[in-house]
C-alpha cells in the first residue's frame, strides 16, 4: 500500500509557495521526499526555501513575477535547470483585485487573468511538453470555490478560476492517455492572510461558518494529504477533476 503513495525522489515545481496554501503544499511534497523548486514573487521566497530545505531533499528558490511572460519563461527554465527535470507541477500563484463590476479597471482585469489563468496555461504547457516526452507527470492546478460560483466584487478572479477548472479538463482530455494527470483542487474558506480580516470578525465569521458543515475554517495543513494523493501513483486513474477541499460547503 505504501508504494501507492511513494513520491520520494520526484522533482516538483510549485508556484506561490513562499507562504500560505502554496507553502503548505510544497511542505507536503518535501516531507514525502520530493525535491522542490519554489517560484514566487515574494521577498521571503529565499527564506522559505531555506527553512523548508533544512531537512530532507533540497528546496530551490526562484524569484519571478508571473504576470511578466519573459520572467515566467526564465523562472521555469531556472527551476528546471536546478532540479534537472520535473515530475510534478503545482500552480498556486494567484492575484485578486476587488471592485464593483461596473467599476472594475481593465488594468486589474488584465493582471488577474494574466497571473491566474494565462500563466497557469503557460506553465502547464512548458511542464507538459517535458512530461509527455517522459510519459509521466502530475499537474495540480489550484482552482477555487469561485470556479463554481460568481462571488461579489471579484469578476476577474471568478472568471480566472472558472477558466482554471475548464483548462484542467481541456488539458486532461488531451494528455490523460499519454501518461500525464492534470487535476485541480478547489480550496474553500481557508484561514490565510487573504482572510485575516474575516477570521474572528464577529460581524462576518458566524455567517461564513454557518455555511460550512464542518463548522470551522480550513487550514493550509488540510490540503497536504490531497496534494500527496494527487501527486502519487494512487491517483493514476484520476484525470480532469476539480476536487473541493471545503469542509462540505458545496454540498450544503
Measure CA 16 to chain center: 8
Residues 6+ apart with CB under 8 A from 122: 69, 72, 73
Q: Which three cell numbers stand for residue 214?
A: 464542518
CA distances to 53, 183, 190, 233 from 138, rounded to whole Å, are: 22, 8, 24, 9
Consecutive H or E run containing 172: helix 155-175
Bridge partners, residue 60, by sequence: 37
Q: Residue 185 in contact with residue 223, Cβ under 8 Å? A: yes
d(Cα 162, Cα 149) in Å, to the nearest integer?
A: 8
Cα separation, 102 vs 90, whole angstroms: 33
Active site residues: 157
Q: Residue 60, SS3?
A: strand
| Cell digits of residue 174 | 488531451
Amino acid at each position: 500500500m505504501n508504494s501507492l503513495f511513494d513520491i520520494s525522489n520526484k522533482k516538483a515545481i510549485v508556484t506561490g509557495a513562499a507562504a500560505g496554501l502554496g507553502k503548505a503544499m510544497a511542505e507536503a511534497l518535501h516531507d514525502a521526499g520530493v525535491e522542490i523548486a519554489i517560484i514566487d514573487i515574494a521577498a521571503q521566497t529565499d527564506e522559505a526555501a531555506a527553512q523548508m530545505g533544512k531537512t530532507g531533499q533540497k528546496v530551490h528558490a526562484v524569484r519571478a513575477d508571473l504576470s511578466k511572460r519573459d520572467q515566467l519563461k526564465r523562472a521555469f527554465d531556472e527551476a528546471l535547470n536546478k532540479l534537472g527535470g520535473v515530475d510534478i507541477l503545482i500552480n498556486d500563484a494567484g492575484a485578486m483585485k476587488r471592485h464593483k463590476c461596473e467599476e472594475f479597471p481593465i488594468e486589474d482585469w488584465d493582471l488577474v487573468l494574466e497571473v491566474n489563468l494565462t500563466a497557469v496555461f503557460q506553465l502547464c504547457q512548458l511542464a507538459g511538453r517535458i512530461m509527455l516526452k517522459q510519459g509521466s507527470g502530475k499537474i495540480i492546478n489550484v482552482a477555487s470555490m469561485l470556479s463554481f460560483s460568481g462571488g461579489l466584487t471579484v469578476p476577474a478572479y471568478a472568471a480566472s478560476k472558472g477558466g482554471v477548472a475548464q483548462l484542467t479538463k481541456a488539458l486532461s482530455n488531451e494528455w490523460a492517455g499519454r501518461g500525464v494527470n492534470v487535476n485541480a483542487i478547489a480550496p474553500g474558506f481557508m484561514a490565510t492572510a487573504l482572510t485575516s480580516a474575516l477570521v474572528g470578525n464577529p460581524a462576518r465569521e458566524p455567517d461564513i461558518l454557518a455555511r460550512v458543515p464542518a463548522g470551522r475554517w480550513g487550514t493550509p495543513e488540510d490540503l497536504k494529504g490531497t496534494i500527496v494523493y494527487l501527486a502519487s501513483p494512487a491517483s493514476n486513474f484520476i484525470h480532469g477533476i476539480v476536487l473541493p477541499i471545503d469542509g462540505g460547503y458545496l454540498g450544503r
